[in-house]
Structure formats: structure tokens, C-alpha cells
């Protein structure tokens, strides 16, 4: 009886979360949706990310996440922060990367790139306006990619993952962070007009894109215990022989 009640509560919670999530990514034309996201982050919502990074704890905890004990970028000579936003992770990457590493940040929103430039004013960094679905880079040109809180904004997440896999060298690594389909994720989805991602579905998208699920990461033990903080996973670009075995 207790198990039945628990299962029923979980089912109702999933239905509530599904109802709460924004439906724009599925309902709006992809071109119009990209425009809407760009306008959203060019405006006050983009500015608010400077505050939410501290409210959620992601800003200070990122220093632990991106480092020798987390997503280790030592030895990586070319690093892309895809969807760099206000430069939150780019600042840390610049500090953690080798002195001779080339670090690039790209974003669809010019407003966010301006905010990133202000934060990085004392650190020369290449910032580029670009759509992660059509990156202006040749195949296999990056050793590491940071891809934080962007996947949920893509009209077709699989297309974006395949494009990132294209520019990541074989054996290269990617830190993927995205909104999970729990209640907090559903609220985020509603505020920022994005989707909330199912963990199993994300695994399948990564498999189809030729990205191996290397290990899951967490902001802290507290986040791990309560399953909070979104989905954080380190991915690896599959070797050619394994990539050829991936289905459509």
C-alpha cells in the first residue's frame, strides 16, 4: 500500500512538472525560437544571470567543478566555452588552463557577450557570436568544450550535440550542464522559455551524437544527496570505430 501511494505521488509530481515546463521549444518555429532566446538574454533576464549564479551557488562552486579534481583541462591546448553567457565559466577556464592554451567563448546573444567582455576585461579572450548548431570551426579543432545551460535552449538538442562532437577531437572531453526535469528544473524552464531534460533521454542523445557518457559530476555532496543542481556530466568524443557503431 505504501509503495502504491509513493508511486502515485511520483506520477502526480511528474505530471505537474510536465505541465509547468515551457512548451515553446516544441511549439515555436526554430528560427523564431532562436530569436526569442536571443532577445530574452539580451534583456533583463540575461543581466539577472549575474545574480542567479550566486543565488544558486554555481558561481563559487564552479571553481571546484572545473579543476584537477573535477573537469580537468590541464594539457588541453584549445578550449571552447560554447554558450559562454556572461563569462562565468570562461573566467575559471582561463585560470585553470595551461598558459599556452587557446580559449574561445561563443554565444548567440550579443548582450551576453558584452557582459562577458566586461567580466574578462583584464584577460584577453576571443569572444565570438555564433550559433552552436552551426559553429564556424573546422572538424576536431578543440581538445575540451564547456557546454553549460545551453542544450535546453536548442530547438533540436541532438543537432547541437552532433555539431559540438564535430569540432571536438577524438578522445576530447566535454563538460555538459543542463536543466533536469524535476520541479526546480520546470520552474527554470518556465522562466527562461527552455526545456527541462530527462537524464535517460540525454544519454540517448549523447550516444547518437557519438559522445560517450564518461562520468556524472555534482556541485557538492549536498547536491548529490538531494539530486539538485541539474545534470552535470563529463563526455568524451568516441573513437572512430565506436562512433561508426552508433545508430541514427
Query: Does residue 182 form part of some domain?
Result: yes
Query: Does residue 26 form part of some domain?
Result: yes
Q: Quick check: pTM over 0.75?
A: yes
Query: Does residue 96 form part of some domain?
Result: yes
pLDDT number for residue 48: 77
Write out the residue range of the structural domain in which residue 201 sits.
2-243
Query: Does residue 217 form part of some domain?
Result: yes
Instruction: Give the chain's domain count.
Output: 1
For residue 19, pLDDT over 70 is answered with yes
Query: Does residue 177 form part of some domain?
Result: yes
**pLDDT per residue as tens digits for the range 49-85:** 877 777 777 788 899 999 999 999 999 999 999 999 9
What CATH number does the domain containing 186 carry?
3.40.50.150
Task: State the average pLDDT for the chain.
Answer: 89
pLDDT number for residue 152: 95
**pLDDT per residue as tens digits for the range 30-39:** 888 888 888 8
Query: Does residue 70 form part of some domain?
Result: yes
**pLDDT per residue as tens digits for the range 169-190:** 999 999 999 999 998 888 888 8
DSSP the chain: -HHHHHHHHHHHHHHHHHHHS--HHHHS-HHHHHHHHHHHHHTHHHHHHHHHHHHSSHHHHHHHHSSTTSS--TT-SEEEEET-TTSHHHHHHHHHS-TT-EEEEEES-HHHHHHHHHHTTTS--EEEE--TTS-SS-TT-EEEEEEES-GGG-SSHHHHHHHHHHHEEEEEEEEEEE-BSSHHHHHHHHHHT---B-HHHHHHHHHHHTEEEEEEE-S-HHHHHHT-S-EEEEEEEPPHHHHTT---
Query: Does residue 248 form part of some domain?
Result: no
Query: Does residue 157 form part of some domain?
Result: yes
Amino acid at each position: 500500500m505504501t509503495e502504491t501511494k509513493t508511486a502515485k505521488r511520483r506520477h502526480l509530481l511528474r505530471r505537474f512538472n510536465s505541465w509547468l515546463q515551457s512548451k515553446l521549444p516544441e511549439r515555436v518555429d526554430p528560427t523564431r525560437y532562436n530569436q526569442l532566446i536571443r532577445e530574452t538574454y539580451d534583456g533583463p533576464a540575461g543581466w539577472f544571470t549575474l545574480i542567479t549564479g550566486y543565488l544558486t551557488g554555481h558561481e563559487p562552486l564552479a571553481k571546484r567543478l572545473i579543476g584537477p579534481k573535477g573537469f580537468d583541462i590541464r594539457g588541453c591546448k584549445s578550449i571552447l566555452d560554447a554558450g559562454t553567457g556572461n563569462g562565468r565559466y570562461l573566467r575559471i577556464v582561463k585560470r585553470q588552463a595551461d598558459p599556452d592554451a587557446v580559449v574561445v567563448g561563443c554565444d548567440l546573444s550579443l548582450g551576453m557577450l558584452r557582459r562577458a567582455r566586461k567580466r574578462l576585461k583584464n584577460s584577453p579572450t576571443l569572444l565570438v557570436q555564433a550559433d552552436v548548431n552551426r559553429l564556424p570551426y573546422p572538424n576536431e579543432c578543440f581538445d575540451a568544450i564547456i557546454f553549460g545551460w545551453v542544450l535546453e535552449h536548442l530547438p533540436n538538442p541532438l543537432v547541437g550535440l552532433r555539431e559540438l562532437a564535430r569540432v571536438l577531437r577524438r578522445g576530447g572531453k566535454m563538460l555538459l550542464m543542463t536543466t533536469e526535469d524535476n520541479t526546480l528544473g520546470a520552474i527554470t524552464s518556465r522562466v527562461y522559455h527552455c526545456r527541462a531534460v530527462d537524464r535517460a533521454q540525454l544519454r540517448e542523445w549523447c550516444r547518437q551524437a557519438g559522445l560517450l557518457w564518461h562520468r556524472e559530476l555534482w556541485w557538492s555532496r549536498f547536491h548529490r544527496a538531494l539530486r539538485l543542481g541539474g545534470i552535470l556530466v563529463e563526455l568524451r568524443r568516441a573513437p572512430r570505430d565506436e562512433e561508426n557503431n552508433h545508430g541514427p
